[in-house]
Structure 1
């Protein structure tokens, strides 16, 4: 969905279909009740005063209330309470529009209660917004990947100090772009399609997925995977293993698993299994 720039609900409309995103269920329920309740009370007060039979009163109430909800209440909610219904999306949009710098961070977070909350508090004190968070679980600690929007004047060292003050024993921060906010699952599926169509793309797909560099002349002593290693080794359909490195950014077990799944896909595409049913 492509959106125009702005701070009103109209700016959230899709350029292709013109529709607004679906508002939250809680806000939508509150808005509908707020608009429908006065209508229901007025209709009930008028019909109850009549001398009609009880079944006829119930029928009139049901039909009248339903018609008023469809013709009056729902359009009124969407028209007059539109900004309030979409307030969370508007706040997120405003944060993205006003962010002067985007940063990506890889942080070691201890496996203890409130660890992530303390880090979030330190970032909030500096006016930094967390736009995206991906967690790689570990035995004693997790490796958390953040995409951050920081105001002007907040630099790399400020962010590192924020993570340190929040209790992280290790943090690395580097500049990022809006591409870091792209849907990771969509990106992974696109890379998988590339590998399935052409297994030769395996080396480049893994490098792009893990933001790593292929090692063109790897040492034969490199092991397949060691937790916390900056070198990753996976098999390839040609029989010669592929090795990737990422200076200063150790690979996680989850990243190793993703690379091996792409390797398996490349092998299946190279040597398809024929089955008869």
Structure 2
């Protein structure tokens, strides 16, 4: 295969942004490596043990030969031959995504007690809704569950809201979304951190991107007076002596989201101070 050509498998599963395959589950990767290494280990031992070499030489040959064969033959072969099985969960998730008529991001507050999540997932499954991802944020009144949902055709926003309430959720909110909502959270945060490290002035745009919020006030602008009691305003300090204020009407910021924004602000401040000292 020529360099850079995409096989049907790669085209089906590789990331649209970076072109890389997702990391397979550790348990499947371990089983695949064991299945590939065991025959090689048995064959090498059978060939070496029956020779007349001294015991230390046999141990050395077994160690070096088995290690080289495992690294250069077994692991690459297992990854190549069993790749559909290794990436089976990701393939299943991608197929569900492509079959979905609509994608929604949903948020609702649940009581922090056993069985609460089970009830709401059951209510969603009754409408043939597939949960593609879920994140849980501790809040004052319980836990805020955030879902990315794939829904069949015909379901409306009100249907989703009713299902969330029927499952025990309160203050439900749903908005349409795109496959980008499924981008790995750690990768996205690291990309934004790298963006800020390269240019600290990108902080307002990076935080707005991270939290899907709008910038209300930047350093150098007239600050917004007051605060939102419903938690839809977020203020983060900066190295420029004036805070940046973000708003997300109808969708309060969680403590975890606030912490992420503050960590990015700290990174921008560190880079800005370092550049000032260097100058």
Q: Same fold (TM over 0.5)?
A: yes
Structure 2 counterparts to residues 48-67 of structure 1, below 5 A: 48-67=49-68
Q: Is the 8 A contact 1:130 1:146 kept in 2?
A: yes
Q: Distance in 2 between matches of 1:118 and 1:255?
A: 26
How far off its partner does 1:155 sit?
A: 2.7
SS class of match (2:146)? strand
Query: Structure 2: which 5+ runs fail to align?
Result: 1-5, 218-223
**TM-score normalised over the length of structure 2:** 0.68
Separation of aligned partners in 2, 1:268 and 1:256: 19
1:47 corresponding residue in structure 2: 48
State whether residues 105 and 175 of structure 2, in contact with CA within 8 Å, keep that contact through their aligned partners in structure 1: yes
* Bigger Rg over Cα: 1
What is the number of residues matched between the two proteins?
264
2: CA distance between counterparts of 1:47 and 1:268? 59
State the 1:81 CA deviation.
1.0
Contact 1:39 1:65 in 2 (8 A): yes
Report the counterpart of residue 23 of structure 1 in structure 2: 24
Q: How does 1:42-191 map to 2 (within 5 A)?
A: 42-182=43-183, 183=185, 185=189
**Any conservation in 2 of the 1:225–1:233 contact (CA below 8 Å)?**
no
Shift of 1:38: 1.8
In the alignment, the residues of structure 2 paired with residue 265 and residue 114 of structure 1 have an alpha-carbon distance, to the nearest angstrom, of 39
**Compared CA separation, residues 275 and 225, structure 1 to 2 (3 A):** farther
Contact 2:129 2:150 in 1 (8 A): yes
**Structure-to-structure mapping, 1:205-224, within 5 angstroms:** 209=211, 211=213, 223-224=226-227
Q: Deviations over 1:25-76 (max 9, x none)?
A: 3222211111111222233233333343323332332333234324432232
Shift of 1:190: 8.6
Pairing of 1:192-203 with structure 2 (within 5 A): 196-197=200-201
Rate the CA distance shift 1:161–1:177 in 2: closer, same or farther, 3 A: same
User: 8 Å contact 1:108–1:170 — kept in the other structure?
Assistant: yes
| Matched position secondary structure for 2:139 | coil
Q: Does structure 2 retain, via aligned residues, the 8 Å contact 1:107–1:170?
A: yes
Measured on the aligned residues, the alpha-carbon RMSD in Å equals 4.7
**Contact 1:210–1:255 at 8 Å: present in 2 too?**
no
Distance in 2 between the 1:68 and 1:84 partners?
Answer: 23
> Normalised by the size of structure 1, how large is the TM-score?
0.68
For structure 1, the 5+ residue unaligned runs are none
Which SS does the other structure have where 1:44 is aligned?
Answer: helix
Question: How many Å separate the matches in 2 of 1:123 and 1:41?
Answer: 50
Residues 230, 39 of structure 1: alpha-carbon distance in 2 compared, 3 angstrom cutoff: closer
CA contact (8 A) 1:103 1:147 kept: yes
SS of 1:117's partner is helix
For 1:55 and 1:267, locate their aligned partners in 2 and report how far apart those are by CA, in whole Å: 59
Q: CA deviation at 1:148?
A: 1.5
Q: Distance in 2 between matches of 1:96 and 1:152?
A: 13
Distance 2:138 2:118 in 1: 16
Query: What is the DSSP-based 3-state SS (H/G/I as helix, E as strand, rest coil) of the residue aligned with 1:137?
Result: strand
In structure 1, distance between residues paired with 2:60 and 2:267: 62
Q: Tell me the CA shift for residue 159 of structure 1.
A: 1.9
